[in-house]
Amino acid sequence: MRASLMLWMCLLLLAGPSRAEPEIFKGADLKLGRQLIAEHKCSACHARNVGGNGDDIYNPKGRINSPGLLRGMVDYCSTQLNLGFFPEDTTAVAAVLNREHYKFTAK
Ligand code: HEC
């Protein structure tokens, strides 16, 4: 009983920090982000470049090493592709990519 309580507390400690969202992604509209990613076929084009389902394009070399850079990359890409993203669209997409791939946490 006591041992399992200890284990539980350790798990809580381990899980705690990793759940904290970076400041710039707080309140991001994840539903909107997923919708935009699907709508603009981000993965289809990435898959043409890296194969598979395209997920391997995300941070293969660890070049993107902060939430700000990630958001900047989405901003850059969406501008290049002329997607007409509003700032909150960019944040929403970056927040989803962070949750699913990059996993940056608040410092
Ligand atoms: C027309 C093709 C194409 C489309 C559409 C596209 N991308 Fe990309 N994207 C690329 C290519 C090619 C790279 C790799 C660039 C490099 O490595 O220099 C890339 C790289 C990225 C990266 C950086 C990956 C890393 O960690 O280095 C992000 C983030 C990204 N794309 C987001 C998006 C999002 C979000 C969308 C949809 C809104 C999107 N892209 C749509 C071609 C595309």
pTM of the predicted protein model? 0.83
Q: Whose CA is nearest to atom 2 of ligand 1?
A: 45
What pLDDT does 50 receive?
A: 93
Tens digit of each residue's pLDDT (9 = 90 or more) over 50-106? 999 999 999 888 899 999 999 999 999 999 999 999 999 999 999 999 999 999 998
Q: How deeply is 101 buried, as exposed, middle or buried, from its count of CB atoms within 10 A (0-12, 13-18, 19+)?
A: middle
Q: What is the spatial distance between Cα 95 and Cα 102, in angstroms, rounded to a whole number? A: 9
CA dihedral 50, 53, 57, 60 (to 10 degrees): -90
Choice from 25, 32, 34, 42 to test ligand 1 binding pocket (greatest atom count within 8 A of CB): 42
What sign for the dihedral angle of Cα 97, 56, 39, 41? positive
More confident call, 69 vs 107: 69
Domain boundaries, the chain: 21-102
Q: What is the spatial distance between Cα 76 and Cα 34, in angstroms, rounded to a whole number? A: 18
Choice from 32, 77, 93 to test ligand 1 binding pocket (greatest atom count within 8 A of CB): 77
Q: What is the spatial distance between Cα 28 and Cα 11, in angstroms, rounded to a whole number? A: 27
What pLDDT does 61 receive?
A: 86
What is the average pLDDT across 35-53?
A: 93
What pLDDT does 76 receive?
A: 95
More confident call, 18 vs 67: 67
What pLDDT does 17 receive?
A: 45
